[in-house]
Amino acid sequence: MTHLLIHGDARKLPIDLREIDAVVSDPPYGMGWNTNSKRFTGGYMKQGEGRDDWGNITNDDKPFDPTPWLGFPKVILFGSNHYSSRLPVGTTLVWIKRSDHTFGTFLSDAEMAWMKGGRGIYCFRSLEMFTINQNRSHPSQKPVSLMRWCIQKLKLRPGSLIIDPYLGSGTTGIAALQEGHRFIGIDIERKYVEIARRRLERPHAPIQRPGRPEHHPLFDTLTPEETHV
């Protein structure tokens, strides 16, 4: 067993920071984001394209508090510019998601993440989310290549245990497995746990086969119907 997916509120689960090597997540930013992409008018999309059936992102209507995750040994949290006043000084990771000629056309040219420790700023460009806009599984889905780059920045030992308390479509889990790590993903919405389960069931060849995570207390406190492996 290389991964565990849980339907529930991560803030209420018995997560012992001593058992987790890293938190890597894209939480709700607290921006009340309008997920209707048919309103877009620039870049690779024309107005009327996209999707308007995502609905609201759970808990995006209230300020995000990163405090529960800051004590873990290694942490990456996306959307850090929306709650930077509640974060200590750290490293900034920047996802550049547009080509140069589309800069400034509509919405953001890039997204930011905070990484615990350090003070540097590092950039990664990936345009792949534009090409799968109609087929994406979550309105704020990130590229696998981006999440692999983020995990590489953590310099974890092989087979480390990564947790994503805001699982979404499971991209962090795919990246973790491909980088040779173990993974626990949690989401408050059951539909995204199911989407992530289907995505993670596909073959993902790791650099090094990770060990077994059954020793983690979460495996003992949840009923079978709450977990997927």
Each residue's pLDDT tens digit, 50-98: 665 555 667 777 889 999 999 999 999 999 999 999 999 999 999 998 8
Residues of the chain with pLDDT > 70, as a percent, come to 72
d(CA 94, CA 197): 28
What was the pLDDT predicted at 39?
61
d(CA 109, CA 105): 8
> Strands (DSSP E) along the chain, which ranges?
3-7, 22-25, 75-78, 90-96, 110-125, 161-164, 182-187, 227-228
Each residue's pLDDT tens digit, 3-50: 999 999 999 998 887 889 999 999 998 765 555 555 665 555 565 566
Query: Which one has a higher pLDDT value, 107 or 159?
Result: 159
Contacts of the segment 32-41: beta carbons below 8 A, 24+ positions apart: 32/60, 32/61, 33/57, 33/60, 33/139, 33/140, 35/139, 37/133, 37/139, 40/106, 40/107, 41/106
Where do the H-state alpha helices sit in the chain?
A: 128-131, 144-154, 171-178, 190-201, 217-221
φ, ψ of residue 197 to 5 degrees: the values are -60, -45
d(CA 117, CA 91): 6
Q: SS3 for 68?
A: helix
What was the pLDDT predicted at 58?
74
Confidence of residue 105 (pLDDT cuts 50, 70, 90): confident
Confidence of residue 147 (pLDDT cuts 50, 70, 90): very high
CB 67 within 8 A of CB 116: no
CATH number for the domain formed by residue range(s) 3-228? 3.40.50.150
What are the structural domain ranges in the chain? 3-228
**Beta carbons within 10 angstroms of residue 122's beta carbon:** 14
CB 21 within 8 A of CB 164: no
- The per-residue DSSP string of 88-107 comes to -SEEEEEEE-S-GGGTTSSS
Mean pLDDT of all residues in 106-122: 92
What was the pLDDT predicted at 108?
83
